[in-house]
Structure 1
Amino acid sequence: MRILLVGEYSRLHNSLKEGLISLGHEVILVSHGDHFKNYSSDYSIKPIFFSRFWITKKVRNAFKRFFSFDFEKMERAIRFYLILPKLKGFDHVQLINSDALELHPKVSLFFYKKLFAQNKKASLLVCGDETPVIEYLLKNEMKHSILSPYLNDSSLKKQYRFSLKYLQPTYKKVFNWLKDNVNSIIVSDMDYKIPMEKMNYKVNFIPNPINTHKILFSELKMDEKIIIFLGINRLSYDKKGIHFFEKALKIIEGKYADKVEIIITENIPYQHYISLYNKAHILLDQVYAYDQGYNALEAMAKGKVVFTGAEQEFEDYYELNERVAINALPEVNELVNELSFLIDNPQEIITIGKNARAFIEREHDYLKIAKKYLEVWK
């Protein structure tokens, strides 16, 4: 098959591409690299002119502030328009999100109609914020979710503008057109499966693909200090509940100053991020999730102990009898207790790390997952 993957936010599409190519398929990936993360693409629509130079940045920011006009979106649109003639004749097109191109919704819809018309089948992947997901989360029926901070404090609305935009009529129109024109809707984990099904959508659940050949397992050593890593992305700071981790780490640092080393980074490119967390024993990911996102899964594949979503629904679905991750809750004392237990019982870190790798190989191997995508697409 000839497959076109549009958009990238977490390296999900890159890993899926690697799996599909290994199975003998031709795959092209188009994206803007997800801003500072700089994920690789075959065709990049990353805005360069309005983001690289000091003076153009000033002009861009001024127009965005006073006229609500985004030159970066304009540049992305131009770049996609120029490569659009090359994006034809594919057996399948998959969008990573209804806003995969991050353009004005009317412009995105224009391009999607062109793209679908010159290719065969299409699918929509729901692996992040999406119209029905946000609509359901606002009902506040789940124990917790990425919207929990906003539901508890409406003054955070500005921080949630990227999530809440999917409720705007123009974004809803794009999603509604896509749901009527794709052949399948796919969800990547329980945090999207549950809301989509609650909103009466028929979805195909396919776990995130992890390249277990490229991401190697390394058994953790307890010779020196236990290293705890926290990578902060300011755009998702509230959604991931990072302040709970920060408070917990201050307590841990005071309690175990001679036993732990704490590494905290903020808004760094993916490759630099990976190089820093490789030596860590424990990675702190997020507190409002039911399941693991892509960042957590990659760390688990390396044998790290990850504080992330691992709720009962997740354990039941995969029929787990052992801990493969720490279910991180938005409670500082609970996080401190879990971290303290691991520091006082370092053998548990080794055991959970091995469990995590085995789980990834069993449920997230990129070749197994690529085959599942092919089954749904066909």
Structure 2
Amino acid sequence: MNILLIGEYSRLHNSLKEGLQKLGHHVVIFGFKDGFKDFPVDFPIEKKWDSGFLKKIKVGIFKLTGFNISSYLTYLQFKKNKNQFVNFDVVQLINENSFYCGYHFEKKILEFLFKNNKKVYLLSCGTDYLTVKYSFENPEIKSLIQPYLEGKINNKNFQNVLKFRKKSSRKLHEFIYKNISGIIASDMDYHIPLRNNPKYLGLIPNPINVENIEVQPFSPLEKIIIFHGINTENYFKKGNDYFEKALAIIQNKYNDRVEIITTRNIPYQQYIQLYNKAHILLDQVYCYDQGYNALEAMAKGKVVFTGAEKEFEAFYNLKESVNVNAKPDVNYLVESLSYLIENPEEISIISKRARMFVEKEHDYIQISKRYLSIWNQ
């Protein structure tokens, strides 16, 4: 099979590519490298006029004319290589706005892809029109909408979410849905809003290449190391404010028994090296299920504070915890961390379950086979 994967989030498409290649398929990734994470991409797109003085000029021109220079420059990069993106058996979009363009140029790129390839599928693994709509209609559920509604994030810093409430995003969503063969969710947070959608093909868990991930053995006699990696752009969306407040209490309470590592906006490889020695990793609080970062840490045997709501446990038929269900509640987080620090044998137990869970449910070869099964329907 000849497969084109558009875009990258948290290494999802790279892991899927590795699995598909092992099964004998030809795979190409085209798109952005997921910001500072800088993941490998066969045909990379660079964000232009997106910082400093040029960004100020871009914003000024957009306010005066409505013309988005960054979108236009992205389109030119696509146009230059467009003959590389034809005659694929399957094209998969990472998002409804994979190219981060405004409606006009995003649609032009997608029209070409729809016209010149056999089948196109859409992944729901981040914010898009339907998930944002569902979150605003159901504000009581765990989602990144909650810190916005609490006033922690202003409109300007929430534009990458609020843009999906605009008329142009609805139009783009409708255009994509008319042309795709179906939509696939990567976890429960995207599965729930898509239930009963006629284009929905089901949940396929994130692929994890467990062959390249080693488990670091844990001794209960060691000082317990807690890792908290922060992407400042998503600070409140991930609930990092709750984690930081909880960690300040933990540091004061267990100063001689814990080591706390906090990072901000560091490259992926450096991030991995620092968190490798940790026993506990703090991921995010506003989710039902685990994203890629949490799963990769679980594969390494870390005890991860992330989404593990009853919907997640029911879906995988879990009887014992494979991580810690994080909540936007400082006292709850302190209590949960304290229990692990005072009962280090529990860290070892959850560590083993976490690895076994990822091996069973997220193995990249088995997940690749599930994608192939859906694409071949």
- Do the aligned partners of 1:229 and 1:264 also contact (CA within 8 Å) in 2? yes
Paired position in structure 1 for 2:375? 377
- Do the aligned partners of 1:187 and 1:205 also contact (CA within 8 Å) in 2? yes
Paired position in structure 1 for 2:33? 33
- Do the aligned partners of 1:301 and 1:356 also contact (CA within 8 Å) in 2? yes
- List aligned pairs for 1:320-331, cutoff 5 A: 320-331=318-329
- List aligned pairs for 1:46-61, cutoff 5 A: 46-47=46-47, 50=49, 57-61=51-55
Q: Counterpart of 1:92 in structure 2: which amino acid?
A: V
| Matched residues, number | 372
Matched, 1:66 2:60: yes
SS in 2 for 1:276: helix
Residue 335 of structure 2: which of 334, 337, 351 is its match? 337
Shift in Å, 1:377: 0.7
Identity %: 48
SS in 2 for 1:350: helix
Shift in Å, 1:155: 6.2
- Do the aligned partners of 1:60 and 1:70 also contact (CA within 8 Å) in 2? no
Shift in Å, 1:171: 1.6
Give the Cα separation in 1 of the matches to 2:271 and 2:69. 28
Q: Which runs of 5+ in 2 are unaligned?
A: none
- List aligned pairs for 1:1-378, cutoff 5 A: 1-47=1-47, 50=49, 57-68=51-62, 71-140=69-138, 142-153=140-151, 156-197=154-195, 202-378=200-376
- Do the aligned partners of 2:49 and 2:55 also contact (CA within 8 Å) in 1? no
Paired position in structure 2 for 1:54? none
With normalisation by structure 2, the TM-score equals 0.95
Give the Cα separation in 1 of the matches to 2:140 and 2:33. 32
Deviates more, 1:272-281 or 1:357-366: 272-281
Give the Cα separation in 2 of the matches to 1:155 and 1:120. 41
Summarize deviations over 1:4-28 as a string: whole Å, max 9, x none.
0000021000000000000000000
Summarize deviations over 1:211-270 as a string: whole Å, max 9, x none.
011122223233431111111112211111110000000000000000111111111111
Give the Cα separation in 2 of the matches to 1:269 and 1:262. 19
Q: 1:330 to 1:351 in 2, by over 3 A?
A: same
Shift in Å, 1:36: 1.1
SS in 2 for 1:250: helix
Deviates more, 1:113-122 or 1:64-73: 64-73
Q: Counterpart of 1:258 in structure 2: which amino acid?
A: D
What RMSD in Å do the two structures reach over aligned CA positions?
A: 1.7
Give the Cα separation in 2 of the matches to 1:300 and 1:70. 41
- Do the aligned partners of 1:233 and 1:266 also contact (CA within 8 Å) in 2? yes
Summarize deviations over 1:165-206 as a string: whole Å, max 9, x none.
011111211111111111110000000100122667634210
With normalisation by structure 1, the TM-score equals 0.94
Give the Cα separation in 1 of the matches to 2:199 and 2:146. 23
Give the Cα separation in 1 of the matches to 2:152 and 2:216. 43
Give the Cα separation in 1 of the matches to 2:42 and 2:204. 24
SS in 1 for 2:218: coil
Q: Counterpart of 1:342 in structure 2: which amino acid?
A: L
SS in 2 for 1:156: coil
Give the Cα separation in 2 of the matches to 1:105 and 1:269. 31
Shift in Å, 1:104: 1.7
